[in-house]
Structure 1
């Protein structure tokens, strides 16, 4: 068997766990020298393949690659770039083949969410459409937890842990000051169409159902009157009200409360902040003093409070992607299969990419309370294992020590440039 090189890239919004998957891919690939020559990483995702901007990961020491497991964000750069259909932009696919041929790339590992699964599916079809043999495996990643056919998505567990910890701590703060100061606190979390991240805030609730008092999900139409009534009720009963709101909350007309009027590179509506919208509503209608926080990048980069379960799974799916390729598989996504809740047991599986790409998994109705403002026990049983355990990075002088790779560029071989 003649060894061929592999291409690995990171796509979409990065997480605290995506580099753990990179570590898994690279370490596993190094264990198969007879089949895989070098692992080339795309600088800034698939853009690196199109522009022939490749990184030679063989220049990195085993210690540096291992350190990726506790380093947040994307070590090789990520991108929001979606390949168009083959009939819409054949030039992109011809360019990919050109670069892959020039660098003898026979394996494609793409680490990302739903749009990335679509890209990986298209690459897997190159062999049929353009006569170029390549095995493409999708390595799941999304903090939104919205990929189908997998129990959970690497990256989500750590964001869920951050959300639950943050709202619990903020609630203690609010409770101690509400008599003479702030009475309402809103934590805005990511989640455009699926409310998994907001739901994670519900794990912070004690048996009395407080802290947070209210969760707002994209799956539940925002009812202004009901919302204001619940806020006022909580303030009168407990002296304060804590809220976790998904950025994707919509009104009865289907419009985002925080629509900023623009779109990103994937064509998704750019959201402008639901927390200040809700805060102003509360102030104008109820007169309560408020504070809010938009977690945004802080939550997805928070490696210091990562879930041990999440990091373990992120690393495992990276390794599995290589093993699946060695077994001759292509056009599939590595999946996480839940075997039991308590004790939490899981294994790895696979799903065909044509059933994953561009499909969003939203929260099921049985995970949302009847009033639409909280989670059910079923949801709590699902979420609790995903935030379990701590996997702290090493600390030096009081700060986490993260790694920065050399990211040595591979010499270009095609002799031409390509604009994206």
Structure 2
């Protein structure tokens, strides 16, 4: 298919350690395919509405390669909820002005659930007014909660960081005969994929004693009983909790009344809340450890598999657009676990927008608050071959 105009790329939502790798894959491939101008929006959709674009021709080939080594969203990210254009067309009119000014005919938005909603609304609007532009979403989120995809770029690296950090925390906890209660808080509002990845630390004998996910109801009395039993036996305990755990009434255990622009309650502090409860009920001292931003920014602990797949998502996106595909998100389909193999396909933005993929029940050992072998089969290839069993000697020396 003949190339008809220029490329615009934007980043949205929480960054990952490989979002810039997807940018690199798309930009490099676009130039190889003969695109004359490639632009990036500063701060995502906000930059498009306000005519704040970067002409990427100012960067050398080597400078663009450096994107693969940089955490965060290099072109600036944003959380911006577009209205339905039938109700308020003003932001869409500004988007159209920018598209026409720079002859944008290929638009790519790199983000998660809410970003795919933005992408879907833009695609619908442009089709309604018959403006020829091919719109494709590029997946990204450490939460791994996008539907219609085996796993999301960003998840493998974040999972590797969680696994390695939990190993190190547990190893540190083994240093004392009578140790503290460690409650490790992991990101994850609706889905517990990232907290679940802490189970990988069991491969070195340094996994958490308990894992709590949003997919299962959290009962505070059972939690206290489990903590007491394990601490009485081992004189130590390491617990992983997802920030989005909920009680039987579907209320977050710890959440602010403040909401973001998409109507999500601000989360954080569940570890500290639970530690306070443990100290009050069991008179045990401990630490609440919130892994926070490093989960998505730890490029020093990246999964090479994750980075490769992120780059390929970017490359595949531009190829599909030039071949006339629009209104889709790039997706990954797993064809084998024995010899891990991924194929790159597309999924309708309408199906993906605002959807949430939960950890399936068959991957959760709800009775023991652990993960099943099916989860390990799923996650190990994503984290990659560099998922080495280190620190195991410490477990052998100090664990009875």
Q: Which residue of 2 aligns with 1:49?
A: 48
Distance 1:383 1:164 in 2: 11
Sort the Cα spacing of 1:26 and 1:390 in 2 relative to 1 into closer, same or farther, 3 A: farther
Distance 1:235 1:219 in 2: 25
Say if 1:183 and 1:235, in contact at 8 Å, map to a contact too: no
Sort the Cα spacing of 1:164 and 1:207 in 2 relative to 1 into closer, same or farther, 3 A: closer
Q: Residues 81-120 of structure 1: matches in 2 within 5 Å?
A: 81-120=80-119
Distance 2:85 2:368 in 1: 42
Q: Residues 335-374 of structure 1: matches in 2 within 5 Å?
A: 335-371=331-367, 373-374=369-370
- What TM-score do you get using the length of structure 1 for normalisation? 0.89
Sort the Cα spacing of 1:253 and 1:386 in 2 relative to 1 into closer, same or farther, 3 A: same
Say if 1:223 and 1:251, in contact at 8 Å, map to a contact too: yes
Deviation at 1:251, TM superposition (A): 1.2
Structure 1 position 194 matched with structure 2 position 191: yes
Structure 1 position 328 matched with structure 2 position 324: yes
Q: Residues 181-260 of structure 1: matches in 2 within 5 Å?
A: 182-206=179-203, 211-260=207-256
Q: Which residue of 2 aligns with 1:163?
A: 162
Does the residue aligned with 1:351 lie in a helix, a strand or coil? strand
Q: Which residue of 2 aligns with 1:13?
A: 14
What number of residue pairs does the alignment pair up?
Answer: 386
Say if 1:111 and 1:141, in contact at 8 Å, map to a contact too: yes
Post-superposition CA distance 1:124-155 (Å, at most 9, x none) = 12332122111001000011000011100000
Say if 2:136 and 2:321, in contact at 8 Å, map to a contact too: yes
Distance 2:261 2:236 in 1: 40
Structure 1 unaligned blocks of 5 or more: 392-420
Distance 1:54 1:312 in 2: 27
Stretches of 4+ moved more than 4 A in 1?
none
Distance 2:217 2:88 in 1: 38
Does the residue aligned with 1:44 lie in a helix, a strand or coil? coil
Structure 1 position 129 matched with structure 2 position 128: yes
Q: Residues 259-274 of structure 1: matches in 2 within 5 Å?
A: 259-274=255-270
Does the residue aligned with 2:338 lie in a helix, a strand or coil? coil
Deviation at 1:272, TM superposition (A): 3.2
Post-superposition CA distance 1:351-397 (Å, at most 9, x none) = 11111001000111101103161111101110111111459xxxxxx
Say if 2:3 and 2:322, in contact at 8 Å, map to a contact too: no
Say if 2:211 and 2:239, in contact at 8 Å, map to a contact too: yes
- What TM-score do you get using the length of structure 2 for normalisation? 0.94
Say if 1:306 and 1:390, in contact at 8 Å, map to a contact too: no
Structure 1 position 74 matched with structure 2 position 59: no
Distance 1:313 1:262 in 2: 35
Deviation at 1:38, TM superposition (A): 1.0
Structure 2 unaligned blocks of 5 or more: 388-400
